[in-house]
Structure 1
Amino acid sequence: MPERLAVVSGGGTGIGKAIARELAGCGHRVAIIGRRAEVLAAAAREIDPVRILPVAADLTDPAQVTAAAARIAEHGPVDVLVNNAGAVTTAPADDSLEALAAGWRRDLETNLLTAVLLTTALGEQLRRPGGRLIMISSSAAQRGGSGPYSAGSYAAAKAAMHGWALGLARQWGTEGITVNVLAPGYIADTEIFGEQWTPEFHAVKVADTLVGRAGTPTDVAAAVGYLASPAAGYLTGQIIGLNGGAVLGR
């Protein structure tokens, strides 16, 4: 069976690196994309230097996305695309509308536009039939922002991803491509919270779950592994919560 190719944005650290490890373990060649070349190189050495292809690019820059897509095209059709890149923008430094606008633009670019540009650039390379497009969102999109998300821009950007992904599911379903959104809750051991993380913050987030623990990058990676597999061919157009019961399904 030919080697399958996966692409993971934000694949150098945290959840993205765990996803890359999972997909490599399932036999994929995995292109990991991120801004920091040295971080990507370290992740490739740690996971599997043969199976991991580091591709340095700022995914908010159309020219760099185009170049990254061209490099990935050299390795064949894309079987799995995981849009994982994202971050919580630092709160505005003041209460001006200018600062607010700048913060919202950063969150929309980082958490939505990156996925839109990369998916569009690689759209024709997705395998037909059998391609898998997976968006990593957040439970903040389902319940609204709180804590470090209080400005609302992160939650809004992720929620916008949901509507866009559902439209892609309709568009590409007849071509044999599945499109799903995975919305994790509180996941420890990531860079996303930055200085917002404290032991008290952790305790509050864990207490909000029904299972009494934080999620891990491995939890997210395992779910992605299933969504990326041939076994998930009848699962598409879904927003899937992975949050320890902090947000109940509906």
Structure 2
Amino acid sequence: MRVVVVTGGATGIGYAVAEAFAQAGDQVVITGRRESLLKEAAERIGAVPVAFDAADPTSVAAALPLLPTRVDVLVNNAGGNTNFDRAEAAGDDLTALAENWRANLDANLMSAVLVTAALAARFTENARVVTIGSIAARQGAGSYGAAKAAVEAWTASLASELGPRGGTANVVAPGLIVATEFFRDRMTDDGVRQRVAATRNGRAGTTDDVAATVSFLASPAAGHLTGQVIHVNGGAYLGR
């Protein structure tokens, strides 16, 4: 039985990923900041909840005694576009601009870096690290896209660190995924139509699409696949 840790596992993509591993018979730990929501999700899928803020080094360190002493698979899913939760900085307010950019870097890059570093000594031989990126890393979206692009660069370095022990590190970069909290109910029908029109297969993605890709990357069959960005977007961006 593998031991799997999924950050941001209470909702959306993280929940679908955790559920897929649990259904495969793995021992799953899900993490997140919202303790009550986390506990409810864990009960539904048969996972162990551990509440902490993945972007806060003190919080991560405090949670270590509650996390598994052995980790076969780590899925860094915690993150999201923090711009949806913050006021836009005025043109001449450099302090607010810096704070907004740092918020996205903390939520998306530092959360993955901190949790991975904290658990690194617990990784087994042939461990798998999969981090959720975004199509925004290639197509823009300001500080959010920049943070996800940084995730890709960091993952390339991580692949070199894990490689000697047979471990792998990859990024799964979704395009439009429906049925998540990502857009905070701000995505219009027209916005969905435009994004679907940009795909080759004429549909939005689902959380199960992403979970299936993560599951493959965590499998023995993907042992020679590392340092890569796997695009799950129906062809809206061609990773070639």
String of CA shifts for 1:56-103, please: whole Å, max 9, x gaps.
001121121112222113xx4100000001111235153321221111
Match of residue 215 from structure 2: 225
2:64 to 63, 66, 69: 69
Q: Partners of 2:179 and 2:230 in 1: how far apart?
A: 21
Matches within 5 A, 1:44-83: 44-48=42-46, 52-73=47-68, 76-83=69-76
2:191 to 201, 214, 228: 201
Amino acid of the structure 2 residue aligned with 1:144: G
Matches within 5 A, 1:134-213: 134-145=130-141, 152-213=142-203
Q: Partners of 1:204 and 1:46 in 2: how far apart?
A: 35
CA-atom RMSD in angstroms:
1.1
Amino acid of the structure 2 residue aligned with 1:109: D
Match of residue 148 from structure 1: none
2:32 to 9, 34, 37: 34
Identity of aligned residues (%): 51
Q: Partners of 1:222 and 1:86 in 2: how far apart?
A: 20
* Structure 1 position 172, deviation (Å): 1.4
TM-score w.r.t. the length of structure 1 is: 0.91
1:108 to 105, 108, 111: 105
1:94 to 90, 95, 103: 90
Match of residue 84 from structure 1: 77
Q: Partners of 2:166 and 2:179 in 1: how far apart?
A: 35
String of CA shifts for 1:186-239, please: whole Å, max 9, x gaps.
111111111421111111111111111100001000111111112211111111
